[in-house]
Amino acid sequence: MSNNKIIPRYIIEKGDTYHLLLDHEISYVSSQDSRGIIHLSNGEAIPSSSQFERLEEKLDPLVFKLLAEKFIVNIELIKKIHDGVLYMLNGSKIYVGKKCKGRLLDDLVHI
């Protein structure tokens, strides 16, 4: 048996269904009424039962970055950044200010 299994890291409950997710399946998290909305890379959005602030603590800080206290973005799924807009691989657009864009760019490796 191979030891190269990919094990889901996160569970989101939606009704009586449990979604088991890997980092790359979560595109970003947005805040709505202090709760988190999990936006999946397939375009689906699932409300979380967790407070937005708690989600930031639970997600891998090497993969997920807080932007403007309204979004937690999977930096591995950003396609490009242009004119204050993050273009995600799944087609989503996230509008960010200059300060957030600067912080994000500081976290990325320039080559």
Segments in the chain forming alpha helices (H) = 52-58, 98-107
- Per-residue model confidence (pLDDT) at position 92: 93
Angle at 56 between CA 53 and CA 78, to 5 degrees: 130
- The pTM score is 0.84
Backbone angles phi, psi at 60, to 5 degrees: -60, 115
List helix spans (H) across 7-97.
52-58
pLDDT at 4: 63
Q: How far is 81 from 98, CA to CA, in rounded Å?
A: 11
Residue-level pLDDT, tens digit, the chain, 111 residues:
455 666 668 888 888 888 889 999 999 999 998 899 999 999 999 998 889 989 988 999 889 999 877 899 999 999 998 888 999 999 999 998 877 777 888 777 776
pLDDT attached to residue 75: 92
Q: How many CB atoms lie within 10 A of CB 40?
A: 16
Question: Which pLDDT belongs to residue 109?
Answer: 74
- Among 18, 21, 20, 40, which Cα is nearest to 29's? 40
